[in-house]
Structures are given as structure tokens and as C-alpha cells.
Amino acid sequence: MASIPGKIDFTCESTGCMIYRIHVQCPCVSLRSKHRLMMDTLLQTAKRNAMKYSKPKDQMFAYGTAGFRNRSDLLDSVLYRMGLLAVLRSKLTKGTIGVMITASHNPEQDNGVKLMEPMGEMLIPEWEIFATELANAKDEDVATVLQRIIASASIDTTIPANVFFARDTRSSSNTLAQCLQEGIETLHGKYSDFGLLTTPQLHYMVRCHNSQGAYGQPTEQGYYNKLSKAFLNFRKLVSSGSGDRGYSPKIIVDGANGVGALKVPQLISFLEGTLNITVCNDGTTGKLNERCGADFVKIQQRSPDGLSVIADTKCVSYDGDADRIVYFYVDEDGSFHLLDGDKIATLFAGYIQHLLTLSGLELNLGLVQTAYANGSSTRYASQQMKVPVACTKTGVKHLHHQATEYDIGVYFEANGHGTILYSKRAEELISSTCGNTSLSESQRHAASCLECLVNLTNQTVGDALADMMLVEAILYARGWTIHQWDHSYTDLPNRQLKVKVKDRTVITTTDAERKVTTPPGLQSAIDEEVAKHQHARSFVRPSGTEDVVRVYAEAGSQILADKLAYDVAIHVFNLAGGKGDMPRPPDA
């Protein structure tokens, strides 16, 4: 007699009758098997779609601090695959992942993509490796690489996935967003398309959503509401005796013809007329980042095109996606003055230290810089302000990580990318101090001011809009002109050069990239050149994206800084396999 499907049969020894016993299968096992089969199907669909968004032949991609960046016409495959990866990261973290389509300060013809962790941080290093592997996989190997990532990270693929994404103003961003969206949909992830946002706004919204609103409302209006409320409350707290001193609310903003220029008017509408902001380079005529923006102003040490400078008036430059900011002004003699990330960082750290002293709060404050920080800023912070200074490798992710070692960590790169991090302990202590009636009124007042600064800070990433608001709040409280801020310390003259080499990997460094370990003899040559000048230093480091070695030098005068940079560049060319023309002397 045939067995009944799905049942176990046996014969009764006393009667010889066939007995049927129902085999009860665990529903969890059944569901897992069903889902595993479905995921296998989805992975095969991902493989077929990879053919549609085929990887350019012989093109290699590398995920770094800035994510992926390249010519926009080469990125369809990358965006599709990052949609797939974002779904897997969401499943593993059980949170919403952010994806921003931008190439920041790069030219308009470029584009890029970066992923964000659930609390708005940058993608963790282990997953940068997965991103690079997936982006470079052959089309026919995409499913295999996805399976390997799932196995390696022990991802429960039954967990639902959710992705937030946005883009900057580049003409290529809409097409790339469609590629990303199809990647998300292929693995049945859910998504929210926020359209045009600054990169920091998306970081903020991702954190708000995953904190269930504890950090704020995950909308663009929620972003403006939080910043403006903190800014206006702070001004009320410090208004006595501040507004009638040297501070001026007039600001000219260079929007780099990017998305930040579109967002400033929206922010202004929440500020009740407290700031007088004029936006130039708003994208109506000029090209994105072309002879304008924070990177141009920082490197060229001059005002951007498209902006009519008024003597002694505060000017601000954002970069293309508004995660960098530098201040500058031109004095009555026509001289250009730059207040970069170093000046912003010391302004923040100095005022926070002032509030900590007034409030009596015992919190560990630290300042984090890179080797590119001007030596004068480091000495000013450590010797005059008495704030501990740490130096890390170049790259915002390194500074951000180091800043978490403090109760309050201020970090900035000289290029204007930075923010302030407050530990949970710091936020709780500040909040409790505000309402502690056993303390003096002045202590509670200082703590309340500090609490406003906490809420005025985008702690997820450097944010040009939020950082500008912080600068203006502190200048208002100090009653300072931009001259007074600028004169807090004097930058040492410096120069940056690039040397083309055959292979940038021949340069290896240590001591937060301030010392060279290879090739042999290069560091001793640099030391000999530096020893020829007073108040001088120089270092070299390989580019992260091209076969170029970057040279930095500072000295007591601009002429000497230029000469030192040139002399070091010659050593790099000779000892590290220079390519093309020799570096040119400063007076050439």
C-alpha cells in the first residue's frame, strides 16, 4: 500500500493494519524555506538586472570617505548595486539606511553616491569593502557577491528593509536615482525619495527616523524648525548687551550654484528677520562649483566669481552639497582674509569652554584636527585656550571617530567640513543643570545657552547651514565683528602643491600622515628642508583617488612657505617616481 504524502506510515504488529500518523512540520521551518527560495529568486533577478545596468568595461571603483565618485555616465551600475547593498545593510541593522546622490565639490559632470548608517553616520569601514567588491563585480557575478555578503555578515533576509534617498542639483542625479530605486525594489526594499536635499539634511532625517523622533522630526521642515528654534532661543538668552556691539547680521552667501543655495531662503523664512542674508551663485546662471564654492575659495585664497564683495562684510562659501563652509572677507585695502575650518573650530571650542566655565560643568572638551590644520590654530587652541588637541588621518570619518572620545568633541578639517559631537552623558548633564535650582542663576543660564548650541548642531555630519547658524550665534553672543574673530590668532602662511607620480602607493605614512615611512630618504630630505626655516613644517601624503602626492608647507612668510613647498615637491618628484613635468619654482 502506498504511503500518503505528508504522512509517516507503519504496520500494527497485532492486527497488521496500516496506521497513518500525520507529520507535523514546524511553520517556522516552512516559512524560512519559502523565504530562502524567494530570496534566491530575487538574487537571480538582481543578476539579470545587473546586465541592464552593466558595469563599464575595465572601470574600477573604490568606496572611500566620499563614497563613490566618477564621471556621471559611468555610474549607472554603481547606483543600481548600491540600491541592492542598502537593502542588505538595512536588513542587518534593522534600521533605515540613507543614500545620497552627490559628488560634493567635484565638477558638474561628475556624480557619486554615499551610504549612511541608521544614526546618520558614514558607512562603516567593513561595509565600504563590501561596497567596493559589489561595485566591481562582473555583471554575471552580482548574485554570487550578494550571497557572499549575506553569509559573511550573517544577514537575516526575512527582516524588512527601508531606504531614504535624496540628490543634489546635478542634471545626472535624476537618472542615477532611477538606477538606485530599481536596485532597492529588486530586493523588495521600501524607500522614500526626498528629492533635492543637502547631504547633511538627509543625514539628519535618517537619524531622526531611526531615533523615533527623539533627535527631531524626519522632514525638511522639521530640520528648519529645530535649527531656527534653537537659534532664536539662544539669541534671547544672550541678547542683553550683545546686539548693540560690533556684531553685524549681514551675510553674503556663495551657494556654489548648488543645492545649498536653494535651501538658504527656506531657512531664512524661519529666522524672524534676525539675519540679513544675500545669496549669490544660486544656480540661475553659473555652473556647479565652477570658480566658486568652499573648495575654490580655500585653495585659491580669493573671492569666488559671481559674488560682489562689500568691504568688511562677512561672506560665506558652501560646497556643492552644503557639507562644507568657509568664511571670508575683503578689507578696505582690498586684502582677502580666509576664515576656514580651523578658525571655525577654535571659535566653537573657545565659546563652549567659556560656557563650561560659567556653568561649572565638568565635561571633557577636545578639538580634533588633521595635519592640514594651520600650526597657529593648534598652538592657539592648546596653549592659549588650554583645549586638548588630537590629530588624525585626513578624512572626516577619522575625525568623527576621534571626537567621540570626548564628552564634547569639536572636529573640523581645514577645508570647512566639521561639526560638534556631544556624548549622551554630556547632553543629560547639561539638561539637568539647566533646571537645577540649587545652582546659581548664572550657572543655569550658561547651561541653557549650551543646551541651545546642542540643538543648533547637526551632530551627524558637517553641515554648512547649521555651522553657519552656530558661527552667527556665537559672534552675536561675543558681540564680535569678523575682524575680531579673524584676529583671535594669525595663520602661518602656507602652500599646497600636487606632484604627479607613476604610483601613489610608493608613499606610505605614519603619525596621522605627518611623517613618511617610504620611500627611503624622503622624510630625512623633508626634515632638512624644514630645518632651514623658522616656524616651519611640511608633510606629504598620497591622494586617495589619483596618482598624485599632496605637499603641504607652512613657514613664517608666504615667500618662504612657497619655497619650502617647492623644495619638498622636488624631493617627492625625484624619490617617489615623479611623472610629467618637474614642479615649477614659485616665481616661474
Q: What is the pLDDT of residues 281-316, one digit of tens each?
A: 999 999 999 999 999 999 888 999 999 999 999 999
CA distance 413 to 401: 13
CA distance 514 to 262: 39
| pLDDT tens per residue across span 337-368 | 999 999 999 999 999 999 999 999 999 999 99
Question: Mean of the pLDDT values across residues 463-486?
Answer: 97
Residue 203 and residue 458 in contact, taking contact as beta carbons nearer than 8 Å: yes
Active site residue: 72, 77, 90, 104, which one?
Answer: 104
End-to-end CA distance of the chain: 100
pLDDT band at 24 (very low <50, low <70, confident <90, very high): very low
| 49-53, 220-224, 425-429: segment of lowest average pLDDT | 49-53
pLDDT band at 544 (very low <50, low <70, confident <90, very high): confident
> What's residue 15's pLDDT?
44
What are 441's three cell numbers? 542663576
> What's residue 586's pLDDT?
85
Write the DSSP assignment of 142-155 as a string of letters.
HHHHHHHHHHHTT-
**Strands (E) located in 365-407:** 365-370, 389-392
Question: Which one-letter amino acid corresponds to residue 547?
Answer: D
CA distance 336 to 302: 6
Buried b / exposed e over 65-99, threshold 16 CB at 10 Å, is bbbbbbebeebbbbbbbbbbbbbbbbbbbebbbbb
pLDDT band at 30 (very low <50, low <70, confident <90, very high): low
- Closest by CA position to 41, among listed 186, 213, 214, 220: 186
Does the predicted TM-score (pTM) go above 0.85?
yes
pLDDT band at 37 (very low <50, low <70, confident <90, very high): confident
pLDDT band at 245 (very low <50, low <70, confident <90, very high): confident
| pLDDT tens per residue across span 308-324 | 999 999 999 999 999 99
pLDDT above 70 covers a percentage of the chain that reads 93
Question: Mean of the pLDDT values across residues 234-261?
Answer: 87
> What's residue 11's pLDDT?
44
Taking the mean position of all CA atoms in its chain, how far away is CA 371? Answer: 18
What are 221's three cell numbers? 521642515
CA distance 277 to 351: 24
Q: Judge whether 104 counts as a catalytic residue.
A: yes
Buried b / exposed e over 139-172, threshold 16 CB at 10 Å, is bebbbebbeebbeeeebebeeebbbbbbbbbbeb
CA distance 277 to 59: 44
> What's residue 19's pLDDT?
42
pLDDT band at 239 (very low <50, low <70, confident <90, very high): confident
377: left (phi over 0), alpha (psi -120 to 50) or beta: alpha
Task: Report the number of secondary-structure helices (H) and strands (E) in the chain.
Answer: 18, 21
